[in-house]
A = this chain, B = another copy of it.
C-alpha cells in the first residue's frame, strides 16, 4: 500500500484510540526512528520516479558507475556493500536495458570494467531532477541546517 493511500485511510478512520497510543521506549530508540524514517523516505520513491522504473539501489549503482567509469564489479560490490553475486544480477539487468556495458578490463583480464552506455548516461541525467525533487519533498520538514546535520550524522552511522 502506498503511503498516500495509507494517509488517506488514516484521515478517514482516525480514532481517539489510535491517536492516544503510547509508544513507550520506541520513541527514544534510534533504531525504531531510523526504520520509520527509512520507510517514510522510500514508500513513495517508486511513485515519484514511476516513469523511470528504477529502485534506489539500482540508481545508486548507476551513479557509482557513472562517476567511476571502468570500475570492476568486485570494487563496486565492496564500495556499496552488496554481495558480488547479487551485483552481477543487477548488472545483467542493466545490460538487458542497454544502460550498462561490461568491457574487458585493462588492469585485470579476469574482471570486467563497467561503463554506462550513452543511453545509460542519458538515463542518469534525466532521472536526477526527479531524485532531487523527491529528496527535497521529504526533507522539507527540516530546516536547511537540520538537513545538513541529518546527512552528516547518518553518514557517521553508515560508515563502519
Give A residues with C-beta under 8 Å from B. Answer: 1, 6-7, 9-10, 13-15, 17-18, 21-42, 45, 56-57, 60, 63-64, 66-68, 71-72, 74-76, 78-79, 81, 83, 107, 128, 131, 134-135, 138-139, 141-142, 146-147, 149-151, 153-160
Contacts and interface: CB of A to CB of B under 8 A. Distances in A.
A38 B56 CA distance: 13
A158 B33 contact: yes
A157 B135 contact: no
Given A17-B72, A154-B34, A158-B40, A66 B24 contact: yes
A155 B141 CA distance: 11
B156 A142 contact: yes
A46 B141 CA distance: 32
A45 to B, nearest CB: 7
A107 B16 CA distance: 13
Contact of A149 (B7, B21, B149): B149
A31 B40 CA distance: 10
Given A9-B78, A24-B66, A31-B134, 8 more contacts: A1-B83, A18-B74, A22-B64, A31-B42, A31-B45, A35-B60, A36-B154, A39-B158
A7 B37 contact: no
Contact of A81 (B24, B36, B131, B160): B36
